Amino acid sequence: MPRNRTGDRASEAPGAELAARTRNKNGRLRLLLTLPVLAFLASCSGSGPQSALEPKGPIARDIDGLWDLVYWLAVAVFIMVTALLVWAMWRYRERPGDETEPKQLHGSAAIELGGVVFSVVLLAIISVPTVRGLLDMRQVPEGDDVIQIQVTGHQWWWEFEYVDETGPDGATLITANELHIPEDATVYLTMTSADVIHSFWIPAVNGKRDVVPGQVTNLTIIADDPTSPDEPLPGQCAEFCGLAHADMRIKLHVHTDADYAAWLDEQFQPSQLPAEESELAAGWSTFNTVCTTCHQVSLEDVEGEVVTYGPERHIAAADIQFRSSFGPNLTHLFSRGTFGAGTVELTESHLAEWIGDPQSLKPMNPDENDLAAGRVLGMPDTGLNADEISEVIELLKTWR
Amino acid sequence: MTTTAEPQVFRSPGSRGLWAWVTTVDHKRIGLLYAVSAAVFFLIGGIEALLVRTQLFGPNLEVLSAEAYNQLFTMHGLTMVFLVVMPIAAAFTNYFLPIMIGARDVAFPRLNSFSYWLFFFGGLLIYSSFLLGGAPDGAWVGYAPLSTQLTEVVRMDFWTIGLALLGVSSLGASANFIATTFTMRAPGMSMLRMPVFAWMSLVVAFLLIFSLPSVTIGLFQLFLDRNFGALFYASAAGGDPLLWQHLFWIFGHPEVYVLILPAMGIVSEVLPTFARKPLFGYPFVVFSGAAIGFIGFGVWSHHMFTSGMGPIAEAGFGVATMIIAVPTGVKIFNWLGTIWGGKIKYNTPMLFSLAFIAMFVIGGLSGVTHAVVPSDTQQHDSYYVVAHFHYVLFGGAVFGYVSGIYYWFPKWTGRKLNEALGKVHFWLALIGFNLTFGPMHILGLNGMPRRTYRYPEGLGWANWNAVATIGAYVILLAFLVFAWNIVRTHFLAKGERVGNDPWDGRTLEWTTSSPPPVHNFDTIPVVHSLDDFWHQKYTEDDEGRAVRIPAVTEGALTVDEETGGGDESHEPDEDMHMPSPSFYPVVSAFGFAITGAGLIYLPWGFLGVGVGVAIAVWGLFGWSLEPVTKEH
């Protein structure tokens, strides 16, 4: 059972205990002995950014409130049962020299009935808020201000399509692994999977919801406050989905309304297609031969026309089409903080390592890729040499 | 053998050594075979767990590759559920169910042998995958369509076929135990005079009979999907991946009770013995066990609260799950009632049984928190769940079975396990267990998902993971002490020799010799009450205290002597025809396993299928045509 629910409470208690102990005769010695233990416990006490116990939005907070109720009831029952057990173990232990035999009690209908009534009452106390909380949580949010985002789970990354709005080229916005939402907004996720079952989970804003191929599931998330760009709310896939399941993470960036609008504007701004004579042309040539096999980019050429390169894929679930591709959309790659589904910090050297040998940073299974059948299990070796890689990276750096 | 000379026991001379074990149809020997197999698999599954824990000791460690990790955690789960806890329960049931109800063997001794060997070959087949390109790596639940994704890689075929074979084995054993319980009880052994352990075994047999068909259908569908493109679970073709989850958990949830109920039965035998009081509320314990069995079929979807079911279904399954806590709570109250007012002797079996109660309470309460659906959406598939089911299955079931091993070891071998070593084992196991699995509650609530081969820094998970890993090594230490205790007591013959009834027991197994003769009882006992053996030794005074009946000397009595002066006096039974050893069950089980192995390697494997079917048919024919007992 979690003893240190929050950092505050945990750090207060040992402090008080310490003060009391130093007054003891052997205070110093004890202090020396307990200090490492307490230091360790203190370091464990923080719940961490992916904790369900530190909700950052009203839905997760409701869940946490329900958890608190059940947790403390469970603690009470545990203490009661254990106290009875330990008391009975002590009181009725065999004592040396005692030759009497115990009374042969066979049972008591009253105690049985009492036990049943006791459990039923406790469970009734839990079940009412459970059902009510559940029905609340599963309500479909309504209203014009609800932000609709479609989520496609892939082995092993996330794809997000902002279906409410369209950019200058008339297309919706597609991005990967890093989800951006405004504070206090009700965001309604409509989700499916391109391959196997995944589960979308950002504990700070809601519980998890499975992402099932061929089916549509939904999840509402609401976040209270903007996050700093370096510290998005972390989440990750929670349903085992094969080799790199551990490396299928999500970062949730929460913005003020103004920042969110600015972010949307930036994302709708197409990146630039390098001019034919420019120093980026070689990188583009490599990119357009190799990378666009799987990755999409929307680029504006010198005449101002926006063209999307790379495969367009549609994943149908129920009667919804999810716009997708075989790999993450790279149009604004360098606007992200991470890549490899949130597992690798986005730096030039990491990217060079990744393009040179994708599996050095994340285990994948590209040998089993079968694009015709829609099966993609990771990024294959590109076969690019160091020069080509740095040319491609120079190009990617301009796509912010 | 320890048979006394008087009654004549007829069975074919048979052979000695290994062959005798291979061809045995004696329920006690088969029980021991299950126990030894479970011990070996426990070692293997434990090593797998230690590797997994070592990899998770700190963030981003590279002890194991993701590929190896996924195989190891899959095999750990598969092994511990199907190759350790189920067979150790089968070991106890095999050995003691017939003796406890006063029977000479199970109803179908050769089917019993077949069930064991099919389990044995099934386990072997699953483990051969390590040598044949890789073990199953899709988690023990094998969710489609992940399990049907890479059809060229045979790993998950080992899993479908292996589980199907183990399922057939369990079905055979369950049919056998049900028939035994219903038809072979000694005179006077009415259903409500059966020991609780026998009752729980019966409930488990029914659970398996009704739940296995569901998963078997699912496994066949998966197999067809993987090998013949059958599309049951292929969503693009209109198949439904969630169907597999339903079929699996309709089996998988009753399976949880299959694992825990026999342990509850053992605890219900151990507590009265060492508290020197009858089980408090025997009928309530029995019927709450049966109720758990029934309700257990109506709660499977609580494993799927995040899968996208409608809120009404979720609410229904949530409330049903809470209801199952009621009969479970009843058991706990009754165990408390049993030790209340007793005279508790603290030896190793009792310590493990008492720890079972405390640990099971924790696991049960965290189970109730899963029934709170909104809260479960945070806990599901996190380490909180891992903590929960280890408190139920390790702190619960395994502690119960270990208690049973200490309790009945004298009956198996004639020697008591060493108490001092037993206590060291107990305390190391209790501390190591809580160090390992206690922190996992916190890890899960702090957002750590299960089945992840690595975790990054900065999420606050490193310290508790380190604690859990250290705990796992303490558990290793605990079980090394246990293993040494068994080796020392039995194999080095250093254990204290004891008589038939070392604990002043209550049930029929303590009336016969240690180890029991091949025919269990010289005379089939006549049963007058619940805890019949106790009532032969003790009566109650006016206050209700137990008073020893003076004429009976401890340990020396047999049922025959005991009833000698009474109204049911009868001579030792004559001409006991014990079934002869047979090697046909092994042959047919081997044939089934070869058939299974062939199915893994289609299309060339059809040759293996042909050979396997031929062997199985030969075995079954031989089995049907051979006489049950040899002429004498």
When CB atoms are compared, the residue of B275, B333, B381 closest to A111 is B333
Q: Has residue A149 been placed in a domain?
A: no
Q: Where are the beta strands (DSSP E) in B104-173?
A: none
Q: How many residues does chain A have?
A: 400
Q: Has residue A50 been placed in a domain?
A: no
A330 by DSSP, 3-state: which? coil
Q: In this complex, is the C-beta atom of B315 within 8 Å of any C-beta atom belonging to chain A?
A: yes
A357 by DSSP, 3-state: which? coil
CA distance B198 to B528: 17
Q: Provide the shortest C-alpha distance from residue A328 to chain B (in Å).
A: 21
Q: Has residue A31 been placed in a domain?
A: yes
CA distance A231 to B404: 52
Q: Which residue of A has its CA nearest to B137?
A: A242
Over the stretch A283-333, which tens digit does the pLDDT of each residue have?
999 999 999 999 999 999 888 888 999 999 999 998 999 999 999 999 999
Cβ atoms of B359 and B399 within 8 Å: the answer is yes
Given an 8 Å threshold on Cβ–Cβ distance, is A213 in contact with B366?
A: no
Measured from the Cβ of residue B601, the count of other Cβ atoms closer than 10 Å reads: 15
Name the token pair of B591.
Answer: 């044939």
CA distance A188 to A146: 7
When CB atoms are compared, the residue of A77, A84, A101 closest to B546 is A101
Contacts for B388 with CB less than 8 Å, ≥ 6 apart: B363, B366, B367, B370, B379, B441
Q: Provide the shortest C-alpha distance from residue B126 to chain A (in Å).
A: 19
Over the stretch B203-212, which tens digit does the pLDDT of each residue have?
999 999 999 9
Q: How many residues does chain B have?
A: 632
Q: What are phi and psi of B518, to 5 degrees?
A: -60, -30
CA distance B157 to B167: 15
Residue type at B616 in one-letter notation: A
Residue span of the structural domain in which A304 resides: 271-397
Average pLDDT score over residue span A149-163: 96
| A77 contacts on B by Cβ (under 8 Å) | 361, 365
When CB atoms are compared, the residue of A203, A246, A375 closest to B454 is A246
| A195 contacts on B by Cβ (under 8 Å) | 145, 149
Helices vs. strands in chain B: H and E counts, helices first: 20, 6
CA nearest neighbour of B79 among B15, B9, B159: B159
What pLDDT shows up at residue B526?
Answer: 94
Given an 8 Å threshold on Cβ–Cβ distance, is B333 in contact with A4?
A: no
Helices A27-45 and B462-486 pack at an angle, to 10 degrees, of 110
Given an 8 Å threshold on Cβ–Cβ distance, is A119 in contact with B325?
A: yes
| A368 contacts on B by Cβ (under 8 Å) | 150, 152
Q: Which positions 89-148 of B are in contact with A (Cβ < 8 Å)?
A: 138-139, 143, 145-146
Given an 8 Å threshold on Cβ–Cβ distance, is B369 in contact with A74?
A: yes
CA distance B162 to B156: 9
What pLDDT shows up at residue A341?
Answer: 96
What pLDDT shows up at residue A28?
Answer: 57
CA distance B236 to B224: 16
Exposure of A225 in the CB half-sphere (CA atoms within 13 A): 5
CA nearest neighbour of B486 among B348, B289, B385: B348
CA distance B547 to B566: 20
What CATH code is carried by the domain that includes residue A351?
2.60.40.420
Q: Provide the shortest C-alpha distance from residue A123 to chain B (in Å).
A: 6
Q: Provide the shortest C-alpha distance from residue A159 to chain B (in Å).
A: 19
CA A237 to chain centre: 6
Q: Which residue of B has its CA nearest to A98?
A: B343
Q: What are phi and psi of A366, to 5 degrees?
A: -65, -15
Kindly list the distances between the CA atom of residue B494 and the CA atoms of B409, B417, B431, B490, in Å, as whole numbers in the listed order: 14, 9, 28, 7
Name the token pair of B260.
Answer: 């825990």
A150 backbone φψ class: left, alpha, beta (φ>0; ψ -120 to 50): beta
How many domains is chain A partitioned into structurally?
2
Contacts for A4 with CB less than 8 Å, ≥ 6 apart: A10, A41, A44, A45, B442
Contacts for A52 with CB less than 8 Å, ≥ 6 apart: A60, A63, A64, A67, A203, A204, A207, B378, B379, B445, B446, B447
pLDDT at A18 > cutoff 70: no
Given an 8 Å threshold on Cβ–Cβ distance, is A240 in contact with B451?
A: yes
Domains of chain B: residue spans and CATH? 28-563 (1.20.210.10), 577-632 (1.10.287.70)
Contacts for A148 with CB less than 8 Å, ≥ 6 apart: A162, A163, A164, A188, A190
A188 - beta bridge partners?
A: A148, A220
Contacts for B273 with CB less than 8 Å, ≥ 6 apart: B407, B503, B504, B505, B506
CA distance B468 to B434: 9
What pLDDT shows up at residue A82?
Answer: 95
Cβ atoms of A129 and B313 within 8 Å: the answer is no
CA distance A63 to B56: 28
Q: Has residue A308 been placed in a domain?
A: yes
Helices B109-128 and B155-183 pack at an angle, to 10 degrees, of 160
Q: Has residue A296 been placed in a domain?
A: yes
| B374 contacts on A by Cβ (under 8 Å) | 62-63, 66, 130, 133-134, 137, 207
pLDDT at A3 > cutoff 50: no
What pLDDT shows up at residue A4?
Answer: 42
CA distance B140 to B161: 13
Given an 8 Å threshold on Cβ–Cβ distance, is A102 in contact with B343?
A: yes
Over the stretch B220-240, which tens digit does the pLDDT of each residue have?
999 999 999 899 999 888 899
CA distance B350 to B348: 5
Lowest mean pLDDT among A8-22, A45-59, A164-178, B34-48: A8-22
pLDDT at A21 > cutoff 70: no
Contacts for B20 with CB less than 8 Å, ≥ 6 apart: B14, B581
Q: Has residue A292 been placed in a domain?
A: yes
Q: Is A26 exposed, middle or buried (0-12, 13-18, 19+ CB in 10 A)?
A: exposed
**Residues of B tagged active-site:** 76, 105, 140, 169-170, 253, 255, 257, 268, 302-303, 328, 331, 450
Cβ atoms of B171 and B99 within 8 Å: the answer is no
Question: Residue holding tokens 């947790």?
Answer: A71
Given an 8 Å threshold on Cβ–Cβ distance, is B149 in contact with A375?
A: yes
Q: Provide the shortest C-alpha distance from residue A71 to chain B (in Å).
A: 7
User: Among positive and negative, which fits the CA dihedral A328, A331, A334, A335?
Assistant: negative
Contacts for B27 with CB less than 8 Å, ≥ 6 apart: B94, B95, B97, B98, B105, B106, B109, B112
Angle ∠(B482,B487,B493) on CA atoms, nearest 5: 130
Per DSSP bridges, beta strands A233-236 and A198-200 are: unpaired
CA distance B484 to B428: 14
Q: Has residue A136 been placed in a domain?
A: no
Tell me how far apart the terminal alpha carbons of chain B are, to the nearest angstrom: 19
Q: Provide the shortest C-alpha distance from residue A93 to chain B (in Å).
A: 5
Angle ∠(A373,A374,A379) on CA atoms, nearest 5: 120
Residue type at B592 in one-letter notation: F
Residue ranges, chain B, pLDDT below 70: 1-15, 551-575, 628-632
What pLDDT shows up at residue B236?
Answer: 85
A307 - beta bridge partners?
A: A299
Q: Has residue A204 been placed in a domain?
A: no
Which residue out of A41, A45, A50, A64 would a mutagenesis test of the B interface target, given it has the greatest number of B Cβ atoms within 10 Å? Answer: A50
B149 by DSSP, 3-state: which? coil
Cβ atoms of A347 and A337 within 8 Å: the answer is no
Given an 8 Å threshold on Cβ–Cβ distance, is B447 in contact with A203?
A: yes
pLDDT at A260 > cutoff 60: yes
- Buried b / exposed e over A154-191, threshold 16 CB at 10 Å, is bbbbbbbbbbeeebeeebebbbbbbbbbbbbbbbbbbb
